[in-house]
Amino acid sequence: MKRVLLSLAIILITICAKAQDPHFTQFFASPLTLNPAFTGYFSGDFRIAGNYRSQWSSVTSPYVTGTVSADFGILKNSIPYTDTWGVGILALYDKTGSGALTTTYAAISTAYHKGLDVDGNHTLGLGVQMALVNKRIDQTKLIFENQIGNTGFDPSLPSGETIANPSIGYMDYNVGLLYNGLVGESSNLYIGASYYHFTEPVESFLDKSSSNRLSSRYTVHAGGSFPVMENNRVYLSAYHMRQNTATETSIGGAFGFLVNGIPEQPTMFYLGAWYRYKDAFNPYVGLEVKNFQVGLSYDLNVSTLRAASNYRGGMELSVIYIHRTDQNRQYRTLCPRF
């Protein structure tokens, strides 16, 4: 019974309340959903990133979120060598519960990072993103009061509800800033801020004349890395997000172990954890081999839902591929990693 009530509550919150964007525990592995200014800002020719998250399978049909993105630098021979100009594309899919609500999202973004010193060790970037969003309601996967009788749920009974717009679509706009700087000879620090849903587009499945708007989301985030024990590194990162009345704060880090003994072509093993305030403890393991980095994390729920979830939250997988040529390796910079 507890699972049924929780499932109904989650669906009602999804349909009736002001929506909250999907989020990733590995926010650092989903750069274009965190800040458009990350577009094209990495050490290499092009980057492909994928993320998969499954949440609440212990209490209801899992919420599933997936993204795929690709970004790369342009005009490298036409702009100052201390600058970076990137473009990218992003696709996102989100399914809530049993599939009653699905969201698809396709975006393009661009960012320009200006070198603040003659060596380009300090940069300031501005990124913008434009997205086409579609959301669909499948009424056959919803449970309404009129369909619940003495014998339980009967889907053959009329729901008594009419959803005028089961599919809605709109354009969305996002913007972000990012500073990255070298500290000493081999450490770095970055700090950024992003503002999503700049125009607060209208969202309603019930009435086209509705004034219900998608609340803007702002995020501030920071991180950095420094070497320890010769060729190993410590990575730290944190962010704070607010959307309408919903807030989210996460902080943590990972230790990177060089396991192959070749710093020029490292194989790294990462072990760490993040803590999402009043929500979940998130252990993380990762492996970087050549141009691939794979990360796996799990949410150990510590919120007020832990009695129903039995401390189980969500599993998340990330894969990042960065293509690098020999020439790129000569000019590698300490770009944000975590």
Using an 8 Å Cβ cutoff, are 285 and 270 in contact? yes
Domains of the chain: 34-323 (2.40.160.40)
Using an 8 Å Cβ cutoff, are 120 and 79 in contact? no
- pLDDT tens per residue, range 39-61: 999 989 999 999 999 976 555 67
CA distance 259 to 314: 29
CA distance 117 to 187: 17
Whole-model pTM? 0.87
Low-confidence residues of the chain: pLDDT under 50: 1-18, 327-332
Q: For position 96, what pLDDT does the model report?
A: 83
DSSP string, 282-336: EEEEEEEETTEEEEEEEEEE-STTHHHHTTEEEEEEEEEEEE--HHHHHT-----
What percent of the chain shows pLDDT beyond 70? Answer: 81
Using an 8 Å Cβ cutoff, are 276 and 246 in contact? no
H helices of 17-78, in order, are: 31-34
Give exposure, 72-105, as e/b (b: 16+ Cβ within 10 Å). bbeeeeebeebbbbbbbebebebbbbbebbbbeb
Q: For position 265, what pLDDT does the model report?
A: 85
- pLDDT tens per residue, range 62-94: 889 999 999 999 999 999 999 999 999 999 999
